[in-house]
Amino acid sequence: MRLPVILLGIALAVSACSSDGGASRSAAATEKAADDAARDVMAAAAQAVDGSGLAAQARWRVCAGGVGHQYQGGGRFLVPDDDTERQLRDIRDALVEAGFDEVSEVGGQVGVERDSVTVVVQPPIAPREWRVSFQSECDTYSGDDKARVESQTLKDLEGLAPAQGG
């Protein structure tokens, strides 16, 4: 049943919204925190399941309801076999070992949070292709940051490779 997946999505959307009236950090700092969290999750997850072919992209988007912006992205990595249940367990264990405190498993997905960024690792829809999504909290920006978040330019996430060792 897809209900747990839907509930996880709703929880992520609600938790990603900020009503404090302003950004808690610069847009550049938010991008860095999100990129770093996504890169670390993807590297640890891919290393845990002998993954390869890591790729991700991100950009700024208008928040639901049209107030504020959040930095969102998604990507994928490929795995050599179809043992999704074992891979899910191995990915969760790898993320705990990598130091992520908020590791949760809901509906066959693993979610983590770090530095106000949520990253979700989702099992394959296409054979052997795990998906990853990440997003910052919703915030409002002004000045130079406002121009940055309104550009909504899609960018590749650089430096993706499975973690070494382990």
Give the pLDDT score at 22.
Answer: 65
What is the set of domains in the chain, with CATH numbers?
3-16+26-156 (3.30.310.50)
Find the mean pLDDT for residues 75-82: 93
2, pLDDT greater than 90:
no
Helix H, strand E, coil C: the string for the chain is: CCHHHHHHHHHHHHHCCCCCCCCCCCHHHHHHHHHHHHHHHHHHHHHHCCCEEEEEEEEEEECCCCCCEEEEEEEEEECCCCCHHHHHHHHHHHHHHCCCCCCEEECCEEEEEECCEEEEEECCCCCCEEEEEEEECCECCCHHHHHHHHHCCCEECCCCCCCCCC
Provide the whole-model pTM.
Answer: 0.83
Tokens found for residue 5? 């997946």
Reported as a single tens digit per residue, the pLDDT across 105-137 is 888 899 999 999 999 999 998 889 999 999 999
